[in-house]
Homo-oligomer: A and B are copies of this chain.
């Protein structure tokens, strides 16, 4: 057995045409019924020869190849194991396995020159039946190109680029953030500060939107709530000053690296502020390894699973485009309390 057997070989053994072999093996019973004896003979021959369909030919002939692309714009196996994206990838793999799909990790952008790099790399995703995309920025041109070619794709994270035509599975940061602030309001807090990063990613603006919406619904002034800051600006002095101004609760954005919440937590400790006795502190997300901090959980693993499910739905034609937002379970924590 020097060469892998193909349908033609089976056809020869079974004494039928290659077309019939294809029909039998693909289980394509539409409008055609193969006689049971024929089926059996083909199946037997296939088994005997150890036939396995060539996925490449299958794909070229316009069928599916059960390959799902994953485009991360970065390493999928970063050196820091606790990487932000890891659980999402784990979810993607789990769901892919469950659905019988293999994964193509597009990382091979090494050989190309910088200019055509992203463009060509992204276009290469077409080897797969569809592709899951990651990353903060959307390279609009190539993504638009894929969309125009009716190539199934879904982004992980909410996207509003390209006129809102990008399918995605995202996180409902607006609702989750509002819920955190509402818990604070119920506990009697009236003077709240929201510490956010200076960057304007959607995940940042969505959180802010949620925070402000909750404040407004409580008919509280919105004016001085939002404070943009770098982690270096967040120190004991800042928290102490706020305390003196009557602030009773601080809400902190959880960025992908978690630098802001870490700085805030450290600052509180440095300032000798006990949480929640002296100050209530909540995080919009969950700092690594700190389940004691009040906030919410980003369902990252589920994000991955849902992205794959949506992608496969697109591929199988169940739906051509869709945008989904996932709820975040609130984390009670022990760093917020009544005023």
Contacts and interface: CB of A to CB of B under 8 A. Distances in A.
Contacts of A104: 67, 102-105
Given A124-B55, A126-B52, A149-B4, A107 B111 contact: no
Interface residues of A, number: 54
Contacts of A76: 93
A239 to B, nearest CB: 33
A1 B103 contact: no
Nearest to A69: B102
A152 to B, nearest CB: 14
Contacts of A102: 104-108, 124, 127
Contact of A108 (B4, B101, B110, B120): B101
A108 B66 contact: yes
Number of copies of this protein chain within its complex: 2
A16 interface: no
A120 B75 contact: no
A96 B107 contact: yes
A97 B106 CA distance: 9
A107 to B, nearest CB: 5
A57 B54 CA distance: 12
Contacts of A78: 90
Interface in A53-106: 54-57, 59-60, 65-67, 75-79, 81-82, 86, 89-90, 92-94, 96-106
A223 interface: no
Contact of A77 (B3, B79, B93, B149): B93
13 contacts: A2-B150, A4-B149, A60-B60, A75-B94, A76-B93, A77-B90, A77-B92, A77-B93, A81-B86, A100-B108, A102-B104, A102-B108, A102-B127
